[in-house]
A and B are shown apart, each in its own frame.
Chain A
Amino acid sequence: MSKKKIMLGNEAIARGAYEAGVKVSAAYPGTPSTEISENIVKYNEIYAEWSPNEKVAMEVAIGASISGVRAMASMKHVGVNVASDPLYTIAYGGVNGGLVLVAADDPGLYSSQNEQDTRCVARAAQVPVLEPSDSQEAKDFMKYAFEYSEKYDTPVIVRTTTRLSHSQGPVTLEERAEVEDKVYERNVAKYVMMPGNAKNRHVFVEQRLKDMAEDGVNMPINRVEYNDKKIGFITSGIAYQYVKEACPNASVCKLGLVHPLPRKMIEEFAKNVETLYIFEELEPVIEEQVKSWGIKCIGKEIFTVQGEYSANMIREKVLGETLELKAPSTVPARPPILCPGCPHRSVFSVLKKLGIHAAGDIGCYTLGAVAPLSVVDTTVCMGASISTLHGMEKAKGKDYIKNWVAVIGDSTFMHTGVNSLMNMVYNKSTGTVMILDNSTTGMTGHQDHAATGKTLMGEPTNAINIYNLCKAIGVEHVVEVNAFDIDALAKIVKEETAREEVSVIITKSPCVLLKSNVFPNKCVAIPEKCKKCGACLKPGCPALTKNEDGTIKIDETMCNACGLCKTLCKFDAIEEVAK
């Protein structure tokens, strides 16, 4: 009997991988892709790991595929940039066991540093892309992806977006397919990409895309729904749902394969509808190709390349409806902030006091850029803090960076930061790197990594010691300090920034949201002792506010008793007591 379950898009992707008989899954966390691995790990039949970064994850999956099993890697869109080197070349080599890369785009920038469109990468890498539009399809398309991967000898990208990954819908569960491992045979022409072999494979790749475009007409993931032919939409992914919501009676060409495009199907559809719209979030990937075939259609002239789409967008721009909407009220913004008791707040409060600028990185600590901390000056991509600081020094000299540090999280340091530190040692930097070690990948929801001592599958493992790692690279001066010992930290920062050699400060204190973290105590304010000086309020802990009379109060449901405010108070107006 088939069973129905309501599933998150990402949970359905994991289920699809399971049903497709996947044996190996490698990933690095990144919103909105993280829950794929967190769900895959629930299936004992699959080996699943967090790799230190996306390039490694992709290569792990490639190795598993070459050995003959179905394998996958999953990551957020910017992770695909990191993994693009192996991706572009395995596109030539092809697969043995099916190989799928799940890439999660983020239109609307809910949790990312840019709004890039993976379909553009896929076109450049000449890799086919499947795009599901709800949880059921997310599961089904994973199975098609593995089938096509093996049939056409190609890695396949399954593209999802935040809205799909983080929406739930009903999914019909099926059994896991028992897929027999492929036999591995040595095949240098296919698996060793040196120029001579790659030349031949490039010919194969071009033909493969042509074949898929041709076959796409009959693929069940592409379909035409003819209704009223006055309006026709070509669409895919979550955008399809907005079309169905706003124009249930319009004709639709719904693409599941968005690269390469099933040209014949589109040409036929275009002939049959009066006005043709291309409704795709982000870049005009489908539109530009369709226009290049001489087909008249409307796309980015009226639909934006930014952010998410909606049914209301179609009602307004296509149907010409005037929507009587109330204007949103103007209310104070509520941006994300560091948690009460977050160790990063303590570190930034010290840096702020010392007037230090931080070349920042990506993680919860990026929030050190905003008021009241305002310490982080730059954020580009994972690992960039250390190398950008190095670049500043080489541009302006060592005195220029005397009041600068690089600030990077432990997970990000293991991701790519360590490469940049090697560069500092090699190229004689004098900069100071602060590794904010909170024993987890906080931003993406607390995943383990190479330095935490636990695998994705929950097993204890070797924890790479960050201190020893920095030493081994050749950093002479490595200091560890408790993130909440603000006096010691201030002293160390002054010493190390003054030093004319590369140095690393590792601030240690676990993320307060870690399950292993228990807080027996809470901090309470004693209003009678409060002199209203505001010293404790400076770091901006959300658990601390003022009473009407200006004395401070602590919200006991929020306080995690980190003690930072207590340390900052000179009048003993804050006390730590048992909960």
Chain B
Amino acid sequence: METKNIMIVGVGGQGTLLTSRILGGIAMASGYDVKLSEVHGMAQRGGSVVTFVRYGESVAEPIVEEGCADVIIAFERLEAKRYAHFLKKDGVMIINDQRIDPITVVTGAATYPEGIIEELQKDNKVFTVNAMEEAKKLGNSKVFNIIVLGIAAKHMDYSKEQWLQVIENTVPPKTIEINKKAFEIGYEM
């Protein structure tokens, strides 16, 4: 099997680390070699963050290089656009249709681009979801990232049961049920 390259992009504080850990956990549980690369520290303070997950028979480098991503999971529109050039030709993008203004937009130094999703759809296979809305309906806006993961899960080769098991093993015990529900919502979409 060729090494699979997954990226999770978003804004610091959106829970990219938890998502990448679930992805790492499921690859490991399925007997693959796996490497993950995360961002800690300064960038997490509301900055642009990207994490990489690679799995396959044998994985050397922990990063996904430009033009090589099979799947990009984007938690925010602008971040989807920022990293779109990492996607390979037939790659898939799952975008949480949310807008978070960077400080450069808030101060008026830059403008938030319009029509990001339409533009990305021209060249790429794109799925969108307003996961924040869905998560609020569930009663916990924080699990929006797991809803997005549920959608992405359909583009990877693991069974639903495997996913639910790894979620159970990875998230804090008190939040297992709601995270599982969130995953199913995304998965059934």
Residues of A within 8 A of B (CB): 4, 6, 8, 31-32, 34-35, 110-111, 134, 163, 166-170, 238, 241-242, 244-245, 248, 310-312, 323-329, 331-339, 364, 367, 370-372, 443-445, 537, 540, 542, 545, 557
Contacts and interface: CB of A to CB of B under 8 A. Distances in A.
B36 A332 contact: no
B62 A167 contact: yes
Interface string B1-16: 0000000000111000
Q: What class of interface size applies to chain B in its complex with A? A: 35 or more
Contact of A336 (B44, B110, B132): B44
B65 A311 contact: yes
B104 interface: yes
A68 to B, nearest CB: 35
Contacts of A331: 78, 81-82, 113
B103 A337 contact: yes
A540 B85 contact: no
A244 B60 CA distance: 6
Interface string B30-53: 000111111111111111100000
A327 B36 contact: no
Contacts of A371: 103, 107, 109
Given A169-B62, A331-B78, A163 B42 contact: no
B12 A163 contact: no
B34 A339 contact: no
Contact of A372 (B61, B82, B107): B107
A339 B38 contact: no
Given A6-B34, A336-B12, A329 B45 contact: no
28 contacts: A6-B25, A31-B41, A32-B40, A32-B41, A134-B62, A166-B38, A168-B24, A168-B37, A310-B65, A311-B60, A326-B67, A326-B85, A328-B85, A333-B48, A333-B110, A336-B45, A337-B46, A338-B46, A339-B46, A370-B103, A371-B109, A372-B103, A443-B41, A445-B41, A542-B100, A542-B103, A557-B132, A557-B141
Given A335-B103, A540-B107, A311 B45 contact: no
Contact of B102 (A238, A242, A335, A445): A335
A355 B110 CA distance: 25
Contacts of A338: 45-46
A294 B94 CA distance: 54
Contacts of A339: 13, 45-46
Contacts of B101: 542, 545
B42 to A, nearest CB: 4
- The 9 closest A-B CB pairs, nearest first, are A31-B41, A111-B41, A332-B110, A336-B47, A334-B102, A167-B62, A244-B60, A336-B45, A168-B36
A110 B38 contact: no
B127 interface: no
Contact of A169 (B25, B35, B65, B66): B35
A238 B60 CA distance: 9
Nearest to A338: B45
B182 to A, nearest CB: 15
B43 A170 contact: no
A391 B48 CA distance: 37
Nearest to B87: A326
A164 to B, nearest CB: 8
Given A170-B34, A371-B107, A371-B109, A329 B102 contact: no
A339 B63 CA distance: 28
Contact of B48 (A242, A334, A542): A334
A167 B43 CA distance: 16
A370 to B, nearest CB: 7
A312 B67 CA distance: 10
B107 to A, nearest CB: 5
Nearest to B100: A542
Contact of A35 (B40, B46, B111): B40
A63 B104 CA distance: 49
